[in-house]
Structure formats: structure tokens, C-alpha cells
Amino acid sequence: MKNDTGNYKVLCYLGIFILLLFIILPPLFRVLFPAEEEVINNEEENLPLIMKLSCTKDDDYTDYMITTSIETNYHEEKIHDATIKYEIKSIGGALPEEQIRIEDYENLKKVDNVYFEEDTDNNTYILKIDFDKFDYSDEELLLNYKNVLAEQYDYYTSNQYTCTTSRVQ
């Protein structure tokens, strides 16, 4: 009989040891061998934050429509560059013979470090602004381009633009 209690003690100690292993090993393995998803998330956190604000607006006139598309990129919460595209489309016929003036386009063409392209055959006008090279003394332009994404989003939506934001990888 004495051996029976000795065997039970050994089995009890062995059972306690196995239960302790079940309790201690999983957290230890999580620390030593992290899941691949956690490693990917850590790499994404180290990438610079690049956000894109895309806005469009259609202005209807009697004989034509001007579609304005604006894409503004923000690097690390600071405005980096903007591309503004104006497309003129006829409504029910040919465009008027006189040159259609887009006031914003004409004003921005005069600013230093604003690059522009004109495709008069397709009635498309494109402006590109690099804010890294931009002269911040032009206060009128600064009224239209906010350094904070949320402020810029609010500015465009208050001017009847339809906007979306997305993260760029």
C-alpha cells in the first residue's frame, strides 16, 4: 500500500508540473515568437504617414461645365504638394468660341513654383504646386491651402467639393 501513495504523489507532482507548463509557456512563446501580423503592423507604424485628399467639383454654366479635381498630398501631417486639374466639357453642343477663363487658374499661373500644363485640344488645364519649394509670403494662396488635412477637408467641403481621404503606402 505504501507504494500506491508514493505513485499517486508522483502523478500529482507530474500533473501540477504539466499544468504549470500550460500556464507559463504560452505567454513565453508569444514574446519569443511573435505572430507575423504583429511584425507587419510594426513595420507599417515605422513608415512615414502619407495622406491624400482628393476633391472634385462640377460647375455648370449655360453651354459648358468645368470639372475641378484637386489632389493634395500630406507627408507627416504637413502639406507636401497639390495637383489641380480643370476640365471644360460642352453641354449639348460645341464650346463657346471665346476663351473660357478660369479665374483660379489664371491667378495661380502667376505664382512662383507653380507649374502648369495646358492641353487646349482636350480643354484640360493642370496646375502642380510643390509646397517644399513654395514661397509662403503669398497670403492669398495660403488661404486656399491649409497645412492641416482636416482644415483643408473642411475648406473644400464648405465650398461644395466632394472629398475623400486615403492613406498612401
Using one digit for the tens of pLDDT, what is the confidence trace for 109-150? 777 778 888 887 778 888 888 877 766 666 666 667 777 888
DSSP secondary structure string, 122-135? TTEEEEEEETTS--
Domain shared by 56 and 131, yes or no:
yes
pTM score above 0.85: no
Domain shared by 120 and 146, yes or no:
yes
Domain shared by 65 and 145, yes or no:
yes
Domain shared by 33 and 71, yes or no:
no
Domain shared by 155 and 111, yes or no:
yes
CATH number of the domain enclosing 109:
3.30.1830
* 72 neighbors 79 (Cβ within 8 angstroms): yes
* 83 neighbors 132 (Cβ within 8 angstroms): no
Domain shared by 125 and 70, yes or no:
yes
What pLDDT, on a 0 to 100 scale, did the predictor assign at position 14? 92
Q: Is the dihedral of CA 57, 60, 61, 63 positive or negative?
A: positive
Domain shared by 150 and 130, yes or no:
yes
Domain shared by 62 and 90, yes or no:
yes
What pLDDT, on a 0 to 100 scale, did the predictor assign at position 107? 75
Tell me which amino acid residue 15 is. Answer: G
- Segment 13-39 shows an average pLDDT of 84
45: confidence class by pLDDT, cuts 50, 70, 90: low
What pLDDT, on a 0 to 100 scale, did the predictor assign at position 121? 77
- Segment 153-159 shows an average pLDDT of 90
More confident residue, 39 or 37: 37
Domain shared by 116 and 35, yes or no:
no
85: confidence class by pLDDT, cuts 50, 70, 90: very high
More confident residue, 85 or 141: 85
Residue-range definition of the domain harbouring residue 28? 2-46
What pLDDT, on a 0 to 100 scale, did the predictor assign at position 56? 95
Q: Of 126, 142, 143, 133, which Cα lies nearest the Cα of 112?
A: 133
What pLDDT, on a 0 to 100 scale, did the predictor assign at position 134? 67
Domain shared by 19 and 55, yes or no:
no
Half-sphere exposure of 31 (CA within 13 A, CB side): 4
Domain shared by 138 and 164, yes or no:
yes
What pLDDT, on a 0 to 100 scale, did the predictor assign at position 30? 86
Number of structural domains (the chain) is: 2
More confident residue, 35 or 29: 29
Domain shared by 38 and 68, yes or no:
no
